[in-house]
Amino acid sequence: MLDWFARNARELPWRATRDPYAILVSEVMAQQTQVGRVVPPAEVITEWQGLGYNRRAVNLHRAARQVAAHGWPDDLTELPGVGRYTADAVACFAFGRDVLPEDVNVRRVQERAGATFTSAAAQALMDLGATVCLARVPRCGACPLEGGCPSRGRRFEPLRKQGPFEGSFRQRRSAALRAVVAGQKPDDEEAVAALARDGLVHVQEGLVSLPSPAP
């Protein structure tokens, strides 16, 4: 599998660095881009527009402030918004710890192959699950594990998908936040209240604004 990975590895920005913050950012942003600096929450939310799940932007800023003040904790899940997978990814790829980050792709490969792998295979497993061992119709003929895989040739039921964005409360939240970013007053009080609970906006005396940086 490692030979397969050497020939087929995807070019992802965090693979060129062991900087834990750069890797944290890339994981939080679903490996779409990297952010090289810490900016105030309002700027983070503004820049995050279009990526979705804006709460992650605020948590990323809070995590960066915590690391700047206290350093990286031994247990990375102590950082705001950092769950088990992200903690393991940073631990493995930045700090070289022998821990296997298990995202949906890694779990799928392990379950179908009926095998366990070490952290040395982490990136190979991620790419294999993302490009070959696909959720519904895996490309078994291109898989380096094909010879001994008990799931070879099988087809799988589609996974349950998230409800449509159009007409959802997520869309209302997004519209309200876009209005605040644009300096307008959103007219959806329920959406504003939800954004305020998540720390994405600040409401005072009826005025809605983006949060200010902590002193």
Which amino acid, 134? Answer: L
pLDDT tens-digit map of 78-98: 999 899 999 999 999 999 999
Q: Let me know: does 63 contact 24? Beta carbons within 8 Å.
A: yes
pTM: 0.69
Q: What is the CATH number of the domain that holds 126?
A: 1.10.1670.10
Q: Tell me the three state secondary structure of residue 207.
A: strand
Q: How far is CA 169 from CA 46, 47, 55, 163, 202, in A?
A: 20, 22, 15, 11, 19
Point out the residues that are catalytic.
27
Q: Which of 2-6, 7-11, 67-71, 205-209 has the lowest mean pLDDT?
A: 205-209
Range of the domain at 49: 19-93
Within-domain flag for 8: no
Within-domain flag for 41: yes
Q: How far is CA 35 from CA 28, 61, 147, 193, 214, in A?
A: 11, 11, 41, 29, 20
The runs of H, that is alpha helices, within the chain are: 2-8, 20-28, 41-48, 55-70, 84-93, 104-113, 122-131, 169-181, 189-197
Within-domain flag for 190: yes
Report the percent of the chain where pLDDT is more than 90: 44
